[in-house]
Amino acid sequence: MAVTFLLVPIYASSAQVAPVELPAVTKADLQPNSSVLENPSFDLLVLEIEEVRGGGRQPLEATVQILEVVRSRVKERETATATWDWDNFWGQKTFHPPKPGERFLAAAISKKMRGEKYKLSIVQTFAASRKNLQIAERYMARRRLSLWPVVVTPLIGWVLLHFAKQASLARPRTLFALGALVSALATLLLYYNYERHMSPYYTIRVDMLLVSPALLASLAIPFAVWRWVYRRKRGGADGG
């Protein structure tokens, strides 16, 4: 019995695949759960193309003007150099260069050397529409707040408690003691607000080396006030 074999050339799988052609500036809609919104390390900027260099299989570079800052420390109306180098790491890709005058919303990583323009590494682009800007404003993670109010406030509380112990009159003594208690409560509220603005992308919490002692100091203030008041009532002494 004759057996017929269907031979499939093994070299077919190694055939050359045409490079994927990508537009340098997409007109996609921004989604509320986008990672570029959740990660505050990415700047969100509205950019306008002024001049384009490269493109095709070459790294694309453009001179852009920063029209609007949604989330960043860069200044509006600054001129910057933008690159799309990151996309070249993801396989064989080519770019359709954007045209001068084109505007878009970009998620980028920015850096600036002294005496030079801002350099932007474009990670993702979106249409610079009112809808996308509203989504960005509503859902983006904010920059991390300063930790110094959390650290300084309990120190103020301990200073007020010291003044309460030194005061000779009852009214100033009471006001200083109440101020110390208020500073303890304020520290906890400031810490709550501080953590609300902390993105889950901040995985290394070096800030807690300062914040943790500050929280312990604030929690100790009510006990110190109670101990001082108790000793005054029991012994009739003016100080602690």
Per residue in 5-54, pLDDT (tens digit) is 444 443 344 444 444 556 667 777 888 888 888 888 888 999 999 988 87
Mean pLDDT value of segment 147-158: 93
Number of domains observed in the structure of the chain: 2
Token duo for residue 119: 């350099």
- pLDDT tens-place string over residues 88-133: 444 445 666 778 888 989 888 888 777 777 889 888 888 888 999 8
- Contact residues for 200 (Cβ-Cβ < 8 A; gap 6+): 38
- Residues 26, 133, single domain; the answer is yes
pLDDT of residue 22: 61
Count of Cβ atoms closer than 10 Å to residue 124 Cβ: 17
- Residues 110, 25, single domain; the answer is yes
126 located within any domain: yes
- Contact residues for 77 (Cβ-Cβ < 8 A; gap 6+): 65, 66, 67
78 located within any domain: yes
Which pairs count as long-range contacts for 72-77, CB under 8 Å and 24+ apart, including other chains? 72/43, 72/44, 72/45, 72/110, 73/110, 73/143, 74/43, 74/45, 74/110, 74/112, 74/118
48 located within any domain: yes
CATH number at 54 reads 2.40.50.120
What is the band of 157 on the pLDDT scale with cuts at 50, 70, 90?
very high
- Residues 28, 116, single domain; the answer is yes
207 located within any domain: yes
Q: In terms of pLDDT, which residue wins out, 144 or 149?
A: 149
Q: Which of 139, 174, 196 is the last residue of a domain?
A: 139
pLDDT of residue 218: 95
- Residues 95, 170, single domain; the answer is no
- Residues 35, 133, single domain; the answer is yes
pLDDT of residue 144: 67
- Residues 130, 152, single domain; the answer is no
Q: Which of 139, 166, 196 is the last residue of a domain?
A: 139
Mean pLDDT value of segment 209-232: 92
204 located within any domain: yes
Q: Which of 139, 161, 193 is the last residue of a domain?
A: 139
- pLDDT tens-place string over residues 171-201: 888 999 999 999 999 999 999 988 877 766 6
- Residues 84, 195, single domain; the answer is no
- Residues 81, 164, single domain; the answer is no
- Residues 130, 211, single domain; the answer is no
215 located within any domain: yes
Range of the domain at 230: 148-235
What secondary structure letter does DSSP report for 78? Answer: -
38 located within any domain: yes
240 located within any domain: no
